Structure 1
Amino acid sequence: MTAHDADARIEPRHDVEARSHPDHHDFESQAASTEKSATILDWDGPNDSANPFNWPESRKWMVIGAALLCTLTVPWNGTSITVAAQEINQQFGISDANFPNSYWPVTSWSLGGAVFIIIFLPLMEDVGIRIGFLVSYVFFLLMIIPQALARNFATLIVTRFFSGGCVALLANTLGSAIPDLWAEDWARSFPVSLYIITYLMGSTLAPPIFAGVMQYIGNWRWIFYIQLIVYGALLPFFFLFIRETRGSVILRRRANQIRKTTGRLVYTAEQLDQPPLYYRLYKSSTRPIYLLVTEPVLLASTLWSAFSFGTVFLFTQSVGQVFTGLYGWEEYSIGYVQTAVVIGELLGWVAQRYSIYLYTASAKRNTEAPGTPIPEARLYVSAFASFGGIVGGMFVYAWTAYPSIPWIAPAIGLAMVGFGIQLVVSAVADYILDAYAASNYAGSAVSAVAAGENVVAGILPLAAQSMYTELGFQWASTLLACLALLLSLAPVVFIWKGRWFREKSPFMRAGQQLKATGS
């Protein structure tokens, strides 16, 4: 899941919460005095070529293409290490006898992503897409070096916390470039779907890609050596093709340049109207948590999406136990099996094309805000995919797990789950963004979902070993299927009562009122 950093783009000039803070009162008085003698800088008309909305399509896709390449490759660092668990355990004296201690480097990686999304992602609004990306990418590269050269297990855990955090920043920062480049919902749908499929596939592809390292080289350190080579080679490419897409940052730099060269008091409206940076960081860091505990729709959506996303990481553990136990496969071979999940995700992306069609068509029957699509229309196909893909695939994966049944049968179950995961994660991101789109809180809501996904991805697989050992292959997967079945009821309820939920939420209600009036 990705966090579209939408707060700053959709907030009105004055934040009611911020104005209640005494420090912001001081800032407002200073800004008011400056504003009296200042010139407010805006775009040079609706066709200003510097405005990212007006860029040629070729330039937009140049940036997005580089972003997609990054989103596909940097998550490899997260799950690639799972194909070498036995070798790392042997070298560092780690035991999985009573607990899957070998998974701690992945848990650390995922939790780092959750922390960085909440705390550091808001900084990208101030520093901009390009600088934020390049700084995060270089630090990410530096954190892989000690992973390749680690002399103890603690080094892996600590450094992977930071590399996981950087990956979350890279993926989510670049994901936010999409709404910076396309203003219309219909125009954003295709690049957003590409973005989500590359993010999911990036995590799922790592075991199949790096299984060959353990099969043919046998040295787990080469997993990170290869990553250093690949990521290092991509750095010049990203330096050339990742451009600044945040319109507010481009305007601010233009205003700063005018003041520097002419001495005129030229500012953007944002510069004169913003509270201090530390206060904005405080609000942006605490707001996702506040929304999560006060908004039932957001909480249920987060649990539904987080479980789906966490299943990708769960399979890095359960697939090894199932296919090693049933068919006696080598550890590296387990990585190849997870290609089935990738195939399912690709099929889910194809099905998402139909989901976008249903969403767009719903505008014709929207009585709440005529002419605009119904937010719950985002969930039609994903609700089916949750039941038929994730739940159904889990049951297939569970009850074909017998030595007498060919390995392809449980692999089909994995593909079905991958199909459901793609549609669920995509639908939740789009639905939450739509439901909160015209309020002040869309970015915070999506950040809450993204952080929840990272937390579950880090913690859920820790239970896999004991579940599959104590309950057996069939009943452990059945338990997961039943949990998925329970969570799959959420979209059904939203489709049925979505309008009622939105009317009860002060945040979503405000946004829907603005949509209805066309403001």
Structure 2
Amino acid sequence: MELRADESLQSKAPVELTQESFNINNTWKDEHDPENPYNWPVTKKWALTYIAAFMTFLTMMNGTIITVAHFEISDTFNVDETAFPHSYWPVTTWAIGGAFSALFILPLAEDLGTRPVFLSTYLILICFLVPQAVAQNYATLVVTRFFSGGSVAILANTAAGVMGNLWDTEWTRSVPVSLYIIGYMAGSSMGPVMGAAIYQALGWRWISYMQIIWFTALFPIYFFSFYESRGTAILARRVKAQNNTEVNEKISFSILLSEKLIPSAKRPIVLVLTEPVLFVSTMWSAFTVGTLFLFTQSVEQVFMDLYDWNATQTGLIQGAIVIGELIGWSLNFISRKLYFGSASQNTEVPGAPIPEARLYMAVLGGVLGISGGMFTYAWTSYAHIPWIAPAIGLAMVGAGSVLVVSGVSDYVVDAYSSYAGSAMGAVATGENIFSAFLPLATMSMYQHLGLQWASTLLALIALVLSLVPSLMFVWGKEVRNRSPFMNQMTREAVKPNDAVV
């Protein structure tokens, strides 16, 4: 997830525009230029913000919406799940596709502008939903889900880019970014709930048919209301109009490979392997997101085993996670207050918020929300205890997950500043990898450890991952000063209105 107008959201120039006229006119007329997205009417900016957040929510459901139907899918295609959850492969390939596109496709698409990338990728997603609905073999489902996941990753990151393109300060950007994050996470958690309702009424193939219907129905709305918001793309279009000619945007494949693809894929890997803070942040956020995908497997095992529920009921109960995520989103406003309020205590860069203040609520959410929720989920998993008790544990994890992912994302962007795009690329790749493979261990883990101790193990891991970042409250300044990549903001002035409380 790329959440701000930093390296990947604003500062990239268009692809090798060759006309001299663009070099002369590639700036806004003045600071009040009405075509500059920062100067758009507030109502227009909020409308596009809500559209981007809603689109993220709807597309992220695609990742998990099919999980509730795995029994019937296995029966249809003779998939053996006795010893291994082979029915989860369509979700695994979906997440792998997201990781692949985040590393390799997005850097090539970012210079084209948000509108053409969004609309073209949206149509590609619809096209790959068709073979999922009519699949005659399991391989078709597994392979097409890879491309669906890649498409969703591009759409979600395009939506994140919109937030950075429209809102020019940290203060104004904080609420739009939080809407994007809740859309991103609640969409994944809402997938089984929506899938359960469709599956119960119409059958598993209609899970894909319904997506085709609603994505197609929404396309005209997006076509007319999803405006181009990337400043460089708007300026390039202005140059073309002024000169009444086409700007040459052709670039050789070798240059594209050497200047865009290889560096964009290499830098996140280098950063995560050489920066301990980024490594821990990636593991923390990745485990959190992976846990939400893990619930698509563990909730089914727990509630079927204890309460003899069917697949539809286990899908619907995951709505508790969504409720928790909404609570976590509301608590983000406290995090916002704490972060901007820390500016008065910053002796390193007076007037600028302290980056580690982003982590206050994240650590609290990790300890009390994710770890506490997992412990609750674990030790209420008895048949004599009402189902509402483990459901409360699910809601606690949902609330904590939003606080953790929001805090980590914002902290990484603040701490790595000029390298924020690459750092967030590492975090996003980690999230996709954990989402792909962590749930594959769920069946075996819950069978061998038992319902209580399997969840307890996850709670302990969450507790450790949440406590380690708290060390940054004490040594954050020293750690950042020793890193060659971290915290450009210690050397650069910030806008005064970025630190307004």
TM-score range, shorter chain: over 0.9
Q: CA deviation at 1:500?
A: 1.4
Contact 1:359–1:377 (Cα < 8 Å) also in 2: yes
Question: CA offsets per residue over residues 85-125 of structure 1, 9 Å max, x none?
Answer: 10000000001111000100000101110110111111232
Question: CA offsets per residue over residues 433-485 of structure 1, 9 Å max, x none?
Answer: 11122x2x111111111111011011100000000001100110011111111
Letter in 1 for 2:341: A
Q: Which residue of 2 aligns with 1:160?
A: 145
Q: Do the aligned partners of residues 341 and 2 (structure 1) sit closer, same or farther apart at CA in structure 2, a change above 3 Å counting?
A: farther
What does residue range 270-309 of structure 1 map to in structure 2 within 5 Å? Answer: 276-278=255-257, 279-309=259-289
Q: Do the aligned partners of residues 342 and 36 (structure 1) sit closer, same or farther apart at CA in structure 2, a change above 3 Å counting?
A: closer
Contact 2:22–2:236 (Cα < 8 Å) also in 1: no
Aligned length: 492
Question: CA offsets per residue over residues 131-168 of structure 1, 9 Å max, x none?
Answer: 00011000000000000000011101100000011001
Give the counterpart of 1:484 among 448, 462, 465: 462
Contact 2:10–2:231 (Cα < 8 Å) also in 1: no
Confirm whether residue 235 of structure 1 aligns to residue 219 of structure 2. yes
Confirm whether residue 73 of structure 1 aligns to residue 58 of structure 2. yes
What does residue range 108-507 of structure 1 map to in structure 2 within 5 Å? Answer: 108-217=93-202, 219-260=203-244, 276-278=255-257, 279-437=259-417, 439=418, 441-507=419-485
Question: CA offsets per residue over residues 355-410 of structure 1, 9 Å max, x none?
Answer: 00000100011111111101110110111110001001111111111111111111
* Alpha-carbon distance in structure 1 between the residues aligned to 2:21 and 2:494: 35
* Alpha-carbon distance in structure 1 between the residues aligned to 2:206 and 2:220: 22
| Aligned partner of residue 75 in structure 1, secondary structure | helix
Q: Which residue of 2 aligns with 1:18?
A: none
Contact 1:368–1:516 (Cα < 8 Å) also in 2: no
Letter in 1 for 2:441: A
| Aligned partner of residue 268 in structure 2, secondary structure | helix
| Aligned partner of residue 506 in structure 1, secondary structure | coil
Contact 2:415–2:488 (Cα < 8 Å) also in 1: no
Q: Do the aligned partners of residues 173 and 516 (structure 1) sit closer, same or farther apart at CA in structure 2, a change above 3 Å counting?
A: closer
| Aligned partner of residue 176 in structure 1, secondary structure | helix
Q: CA deviation at 1:499?
A: 1.2
Q: CA deviation at 1:491?
A: 2.1
Contact 1:71–1:171 (Cα < 8 Å) also in 2: yes
Q: Which residue of 2 aligns with 1:24?
A: none
Contact 2:10–2:230 (Cα < 8 Å) also in 1: no
Contact 2:370–2:396 (Cα < 8 Å) also in 1: yes
TM-score (norm 1): 0.90
Q: Do the aligned partners of residues 38 and 498 (structure 1) sit closer, same or farther apart at CA in structure 2, a change above 3 Å counting?
A: closer
* Alpha-carbon distance in structure 2 between the residues aligned to 1:509 and 1:359: 16
* Alpha-carbon distance in structure 2 between the residues aligned to 1:462 and 1:418: 20
Contact 1:124–1:173 (Cα < 8 Å) also in 2: no
Q: Do the aligned partners of residues 82 and 41 (structure 1) sit closer, same or farther apart at CA in structure 2, a change above 3 Å counting?
A: closer
Q: CA deviation at 1:507?
A: 1.5
Contact 2:21–2:239 (Cα < 8 Å) also in 1: no
Q: Do the aligned partners of residues 211 and 8 (structure 1) sit closer, same or farther apart at CA in structure 2, a change above 3 Å counting?
A: closer
Identity over aligned pairs, percent = 50
Letter in 1 for 2:353: P
Q: Do the aligned partners of residues 414 and 8 (structure 1) sit closer, same or farther apart at CA in structure 2, a change above 3 Å counting?
A: closer
Q: CA deviation at 1:290?
A: 1.3
Mark the runs of 5 or more structure 2 residues left unpaired by the alignment.
Answer: 497-501
Q: Do the aligned partners of residues 51 and 38 (structure 1) sit closer, same or farther apart at CA in structure 2, a change above 3 Å counting?
A: closer
Q: Do the aligned partners of residues 207 and 460 (structure 1) sit closer, same or farther apart at CA in structure 2, a change above 3 Å counting?
A: same
| Aligned partner of residue 136 in structure 2, secondary structure | coil
More deviation in 486-495 or 347-356?
486-495
Q: Do the aligned partners of residues 500 and 336 (structure 1) sit closer, same or farther apart at CA in structure 2, a change above 3 Å counting?
A: same
Q: Do the aligned partners of residues 92 and 252 (structure 1) sit closer, same or farther apart at CA in structure 2, a change above 3 Å counting?
A: same
Mark the runs of 5 or more structure 1 residues left unpaired by the alignment.
Answer: 14-26
TM-score (norm 2): 0.93
Q: Which residue of 2 aligns with 1:20?
A: none
Q: CA deviation at 1:256?
A: 2.8
Contact 1:109–1:161 (Cα < 8 Å) also in 2: yes
Q: CA deviation at 1:305?
A: 0.4
* Alpha-carbon distance in structure 2 between the residues aligned to 1:169 and 1:454: 13
Q: CA deviation at 1:285?
A: 2.0
Letter in 2 for 1:210: G
Letter in 1 for 2:377: Y
- What RMSD in Å do the two structures reach over aligned CA positions? 2.4
